[in-house]
Amino acid sequence: MAVNQILVEKNVPCTLRDGTILYADVYRPNDGNQYPVLLTRLPYNKNERYYSHRYLDTHRLVENGYVVIIQDVRGRFSSEGNFYPFKHEGNDGYDAVEWAAGLPYSDGNVGMFGLSYYGYTQLLAASENPPHLKAIFPAQTLSDIREGGFFRNGVYELGLNVSWALESIAGDELKRKYMNLAEYEEKMRELAGYIDTVENWYTAAPLKEWPPLKSLDILSYFFEMAEWKPDDDGWKQVSLTEEKLKKINVPAYHLAGWYDCFLGPSIANFVKLKQTSNQTQMLMIGPWAHGNFGFSIGERRFGLHASENWINYKEDLTNLHLRWFDQWLKGVDTGLLSEKPVKIFVMGENVWREEEIWPLPDTTHIPYYFHSEGVANTRFGNGQLTTEPPESEPFDQFVFNPKHPVPTTGGGTLLHTGALTGPLDQRAVEEREDVLVFTSPVLEDELEVTGPIKVVLYAKTDGVDTDFTAKLVDVLPNGTAYNLTDGIVRASDVYKRIGNEVKAYEIDLWATSNVFKPGHRIRVEVSSSNFPRFDVNMNNGGTMLTDLESRPAMQIIYHEEDYPSHVILPVIRRK
C-alpha cells in the first residue's frame, strides 16, 4: 500500500557503545506502522541533498514502505566524536544497525545503501555481523585500501586523496577546530583559495609537509596514512581485509562503473564474497564514472538506456534498490533471484548483457605483442600491436623526467571539481616523446574484449626506482583515441630489482568491456607517469611523499623473443 504522508525527523540521536552520540535524519511513513529500515552512514553532511540523496529518490523509498535513515558518521557535522577515516565504521556501523532495528517504527529488518565512503560503511558494518542487517547495496566503493584506495600497485593515489581531503573533509574539520567565527571564516577563505588553485598544489613536495593542510592545521590522519608501510597495522583497522571479508554473510548487490576510481575494489568485493559467502551476491557494471550514472561520460555518449534513470529501458536505480530490498527485507519475490547475477554494459556495442559469473566463462586470453623498429615514441612512431610474437627487434626507449610528467587525461579519476573523467581523446598525450604507442592494424571484424586486462612489460631503467604505466585505447576510424582502462606499477614496492637489469613488470589495468568495431584499431600506451592522478616517482629511491629532488631516468622497453612485452586481452568468443 502506498504511503500518503512522509514524516521527517531531524537529528535523531543514536548512542554508541562508548557513549558517543551520532545524529541522523529519519524519513518515514506518517501512519504509526512499523516498516523495514534503509540506513546510510556518510561523512559528507546528512543535510546536503547532493550527498545524502545523490543517485536515489529516498522519498520514493519511503513511499514504498521503508524508513530511510541518513546518519552523519563519528566526528562529522552533527555527530559527536573525532573523525578518522574508516577506523570506527565497523563497530559504529554495527551499533547504528542495531539501534535502527530497535526504533519503535522499525519492524527489525535493516538494509544499508550508499556509494563511495558510504558504500564502504556498509561492508565494514557487515563484517561485524549485526544480527538485524539483512542486505546491503554497496556502490562504487573500496575494499583493501592499500590497493585501489590510498595506493595502487605501490603508487600513491595523489589526486584522489588530495581532492577528497580539501573538498570533502576539510570544511567541517575547520568548523570544529576554529570555534571563533572570525577565525573560522578566515580559514574557510584560505581553504577556498587552495581549492581554487589546487592544480598548483599538486606539485608541492614532499607531501608529508603538504602546505595547504599544514597551514590550515587539520587532518593529521592525511600525513599519518600517507607514510604507513604496506604491512603497517594501521591498514588492518581501516581496510576490508581478507579476514573481514570472510565474516560478511549478507546478500549484497555491488554497483560499479567502468570509469570509476574504485572499479577494481568493487569487482574484488563481489568476486571474493561470491567465493566465501553463502548469501546471494550480484554485480552490475555500467559505463559510469564515480558518482556519475548518466549516459554521457567524458566525451562519449552511450545511449539513454545506459543512464541510472532508464537502465536497459526497464527501470531506474531507485527501483532496482526497491526490488533488492523488497526481496530481502519484505520477503517479496521481485524476480531478482531468477535473473543472472552479473549485469554488464558492453561499450562500443552499447548494450546491457547478463552473465552467470565474472570473469566470463567464454573468454580466450589472447596476448597482443608490442613491435617496433625502435621508434614507438608518439602516435606518429612505428609501434605496432599484433598477435604475432616478436623475434629479433630493437628496443624502444624514452626519458622519464619527473619534472615533466605525463598529464592525467580522463580515466577512472577522482580529481578536483571540474576535472574531466572517463573516456577522453588521447591524441594530445600520444604526441609526447615519453609515451610509447603500439597500435594494431585496422580491424576487419569486430572484437569483444570483456574482463581483466594485464600488460606484461619487459623493461630496464637506470633509475634507483621508477614507475611504469599502461593504457588500453580504442582508436576510431577518424583517429579519435578513447581510453578504456589503465594501470601503474612501482618497481621497488612490487619487485626486487637488482641493479640495471631487465625485469618483467605486470601492470594490472583492472577491467573493461568494449567491442572494437570494424575499422577501429586497438592501441596500448606505455609510459612512466599519470599525474596528478598518481604521485610522481623521483627515480632516486624517493617519491613525492618524501622527496623534493628528482632525476631523469632512461626507460628501455624490450619486445623480442626473450622479452616479449605484450597486453593480454580477454576476448569473448560467442557461439
DSSP sequence for 403-443: TSPPBP-SBS---STT---BS-B-TTGGGSTT-EEEEPPPP
Choose the weakest-confidence range: 221-230, 335-344, 460-469: 221-230
- pLDDT of 426 above 70: yes
478 — pLDDT class (breaks 50, 70, 90): very high
Q: How far apart are CA 16 and CA 81, in angstroms?
A: 11
- pLDDT of 419 above 60: yes
420 — pLDDT class (breaks 50, 70, 90): confident
Across 263-362, where does the E strand assignment appear? 281-289, 296-297, 300-301, 342-346, 351-355
Q: How far apart are CA 9 and CA 16, in angstroms?
A: 19
What is the set of active-site residues? Answer: 116, 260, 290
- pLDDT of 452 above 60: yes
Give the residue-averaged pLDDT of 518-534: 97
Q: How far apart are CA 111 and CA 566, in angstroms?
A: 45
Q: How many other C-beta atoms lie within 10 A of the C-beta of residue 82? A: 12
Across 43-152, where does the E strand assignment appear? 67-72, 106-115, 133-139, 151-152
- pLDDT of 225 above 90: no
Instruction: Specify the pLDDT at position 217.
Output: 92
Residue 335: DSSP 8-state? S
Across 168-298, where does the E strand assignment appear? 252-259, 281-289, 296-297
Residue 6's contacts (CB-CB under 8 Å, 6 or more residues apart) are: 27, 28, 29, 30, 59, 62, 63
pTM: 0.96
Give the residue-averaged pLDDT of 422-437: 98
- pLDDT of 574 above 80: no
The pLDDT tens digits of the residues spanning 146-188 come to: 888 889 998 999 999 999 999 999 999 999 999 899 999 999 9
379 within 8 A of 437, measured Cβ to Cβ: yes
112 within 8 A of 228, measured Cβ to Cβ: no
Share of the chain above pLDDT 70, in %: 97
- pLDDT of 495 above 60: no
The pLDDT tens digits of the residues spanning 285-321 come to: 999 999 999 999 999 999 999 999 999 999 999 999 9
Place of cell 605501490: 154
Instruction: Specify the pLDDT at position 114.
Output: 96
Q: Which of 150-154, 165-169, 209-213, 385-389 has the highest mean pLDDT?
A: 385-389
496 — pLDDT class (breaks 50, 70, 90): low
- Provide the 3-class DSSP secondary structure of residue 118: helix
Instruction: Specify the pLDDT at position 370.
Output: 98
Residue 336: DSSP 8-state? G
Instruction: Specify the pLDDT at position 89.
Output: 98
Q: Which residue has the higher pLDDT, 574 or 491?
A: 491
Share of the chain above pLDDT 90, in %: 86
Instruction: Specify the pLDDT at position 500.
Output: 73
State the average pLDDT for the chain.
94
372 within 8 A of 396, measured Cβ to Cβ: yes
- Where does residue 152 rank: exposed (0-12), middle (13-18), buried (19+ CB within 10 A)? buried
What type of residue is 53?
Answer: H
- Where does residue 278 rank: exposed (0-12), middle (13-18), buried (19+ CB within 10 A)? exposed
